[in-house]
Chains A and B, each alone.
Chain A
């Protein structure tokens, strides 16, 4: 028996569709495909609302995955923040696959948002909201461990939501130095090596995310970050500092990174970059344009009067 291409495509689709018999959910559409599974738009038939339903691709032979997922759901549940996606439900399909249900976010992924937003300042303000959410999670003792543009949504009203706390771990938990969960290009060396992690692991991922947000270069994880030179030097230095190979060379917290972003937006010097005198002057003139123009105008008028009186 040889399966024609069309039958093969059909089978790939239908056998991967989750069997939600016995649950209160009904699949409406496929939303996305990720490394671990698929995300569907589903209807919660009891409450009559649309939700996002994530189904892991592979079954759970030893029940380890369910245990891990429950732990993750508990972690996410204790993070009550407007920038963090709430988890509604968690369960097991008849074929052994784990599913979990979250709020359905309408909006754009961060990289899509970046592609459509010209203003660097606007993109940096969105980045600050991401930092706020991650910083809050850290204050609750939780690391995300898989921050990347695909896990950040910008909603219709400019709200920012950090998704997929699927690989999140408590900062002080033993699991924090287990296998290398995460995404190449966004994982710091210590995470790839399976070493102990702290907040600086998320700082690294945020540095890589900031790079994509500002350069729109999605190939960074394969080709290196070649577009850094196209950015203003202070921003490039901030990204380099966040992406330091040695955790000790990075910002010590997300708050410190965010503070540098705020300084840049306010036209102040950033901690990651030492300016030359000329750059200091240029930044000063740029920041105080109005006062400088008034002063210059005043001096020109004085000069004109002075010359006129000398005649």
Chain B
């Protein structure tokens, strides 16, 4: 029996819990949000500032420390924006302020170089950067949610059947390269199963990953409308409809 609830719990979301009176609830919510947004934030900073991975990690750490200290995310108003947009807005503001502070420090309070025209090393930023950075942030957000969902599915695969299902899923869906994609028959032979059993197991594990994914998404959206809109972005970016 799967450990997943058949449907994402609609009562609890980390966004609402960030405003909780109870500090334990707030901590849990904070952990959920920061874990799912760590990579989008880190990748965004790295691309924007053309930083090394270590510098981007430090900057991301500073950002999360800053919003935690100021309880910025608890000020989110779901009627004004999606939570993802709000996090990016906070991040942009933080980076501008951080940049200004560092420039002022460097030049003893003199004129500040425009953030839009130069990277941290003084080289000009890509003129298309705001758009491509938005796309990067969205891509990393999707990747982060998928990774968390896959990890959950693996963690919950405790029975022999579930372990087998995950092993098949890992082999066929996660380890696939762009070339030499396995057929169901080859996979069946590799695992000593029939092709129909492989198909059924793959379907079962994909369903579990899907449910885990939606559960994650539910936890970082505030309203049903936001959840549905974000699910469209999260799940609608794979296969393209036929022309």
Chain A residues at the B interface, C-beta cutoff of 8 Å: 1-3, 5-17, 19, 21, 29-33, 35-36, 38, 57-61, 94-96
Distance between Cα atoms of A10 and B228 in the complex (Å): 21
Contacts of A7 in B (CB 8 A): 173-174, 176
In the complex, the answer to whether B7 meets A57 with C-beta atoms within 8 Å is: no
Q: A57-B231, A58-B228, A59-B8 are known contacts. Are A16 and B238 too (CB-CB below 8 A)?
A: yes
Q: A3-B143, A21-B203, A60-B7 are known contacts. Are A12 and B228 too (CB-CB below 8 A)?
A: no
Give the contacts of B209-239 with A (CB-CB under 8 A): 209-211, 213-214, 227-229, 231-232, 234-239
In the complex, the answer to whether A14 meets B173 with C-beta atoms within 8 Å is: yes
Distance between Cα atoms of A33 and B242 in the complex (Å): 10
Chain B residues at the A interface, C-beta cutoff of 8 Å: 6-8, 10, 139, 142-143, 146-147, 150-151, 173-174, 176-178, 200, 203, 206-207, 209-211, 213-214, 227-229, 231-232, 234-242
In the complex, the answer to whether B241 meets A14 with C-beta atoms within 8 Å is: no
Q: A59-B6, A60-B7 are known contacts. Are A15 and B206 too (CB-CB below 8 A)?
A: yes
In the complex, the answer to whether A96 meets B238 with C-beta atoms within 8 Å is: no
Contacts of B146 in A (CB 8 A): 3, 8, 11-12
Tell me how far the C-beta of A178 lies from the nearest C-beta in chain B, rounded to whole angstroms: 13
Tell me how far the C-beta of A203 lies from the nearest C-beta in chain B, rounded to whole angstroms: 26
Distance between Cα atoms of A288 and B19 in the complex (Å): 73
Among A12, A16, A58, the residue within 8 A (CB) of B227 is A58
In the complex, the answer to whether A10 meets B235 with C-beta atoms within 8 Å is: no
In the complex, the answer to whether B213 meets A15 with C-beta atoms within 8 Å is: yes
Task: List 10 other contacts, CB 8 Å, given A35-B228, A95-B6.
Answer: A2-B147, A3-B147, A6-B177, A11-B146, A15-B235, A31-B242, A35-B229, A36-B228, A58-B214, A59-B211
Contacts of A10 in B (CB 8 A): 173, 176, 238
Contacts between chains A and B (CB distance < 8 A), count: 103
Contacts of A14 in B (CB 8 A): 173, 206, 238
Contacts of A2 in B (CB 8 A): 143, 147
Tell me how far the C-beta of B83 lies from the nearest C-beta in chain A, rounded to whole angstroms: 17
Among B139, B178, B227, B238, the residue within 8 A (CB) of A11 is B238
Tell me how far the C-beta of B147 lies from the nearest C-beta in chain A, rounded to whole angstroms: 6
Contacts of B173 in A (CB 8 A): 7, 10-11, 14
Q: A2-B143, A3-B146 are known contacts. Are A30 and B239 too (CB-CB below 8 A)?
A: yes
Q: What 4 A-B pairs are tightest by C-beta distance, nearest first?
A: A12-B238, A13-B238, A13-B239, A61-B7
Contacts of B238 in A (CB 8 A): 9-14, 16
Contacts of A32 in B (CB 8 A): 241
Distance between Cα atoms of A254 and B174 in the complex (Å): 53
Of the A-B pairs whose beta carbons lie under 8 Å apart in the complex, a sample of 27, sorted by A's number, is A2-B143, A7-B173, A7-B176, A8-B139, A8-B142, A8-B143, A8-B146, A10-B173, A11-B209, A11-B238, A12-B142, A12-B146, A14-B238, A15-B206, A15-B207, A16-B235, A16-B239, A30-B239, A33-B232, A33-B236, A58-B214, A58-B231, A59-B7, A59-B8, A61-B7, A95-B207, A96-B7
Distance between Cα atoms of A30 and B239 in the complex (Å): 8
Distance between Cα atoms of A275 and B237 in the complex (Å): 51
In the complex, the answer to whether A57 meets B228 with C-beta atoms within 8 Å is: yes
Tell me how far the C-beta of B69 lies from the nearest C-beta in chain A, rounded to whole angstroms: 29
Among B206, B214, B237, B242, the residue within 8 A (CB) of A9 is B237
Tell me how far the C-beta of A148 lies from the nearest C-beta in chain B, rounded to whole angstroms: 17
Distance between Cα atoms of A36 and B236 in the complex (Å): 10
Distance between Cα atoms of A12 and B147 in the complex (Å): 12
In the complex, the answer to whether B210 meets A16 with C-beta atoms within 8 Å is: yes
Q: A14-B173, A58-B227, A59-B6 are known contacts. Are A1 and B143 too (CB-CB below 8 A)?
A: no
* Nearest CB in chain B to that of A93: its residue: B207
Q: Name, among A13, A35, A59, A95, the residue most crowded by chain B CB atoms within 10 Å (CB to CB).
A: A95
Distance between Cα atoms of A6 and B231 in the complex (Å): 19
In the complex, the answer to whether A3 meets B6 with C-beta atoms within 8 Å is: no
* Nearest CB in chain B to that of A57: its residue: B231
Contacts of B236 in A (CB 8 A): 12, 16, 33, 38, 57
Distance between Cα atoms of A96 and B10 in the complex (Å): 14
Contacts of A58 in B (CB 8 A): 214, 227-228, 231
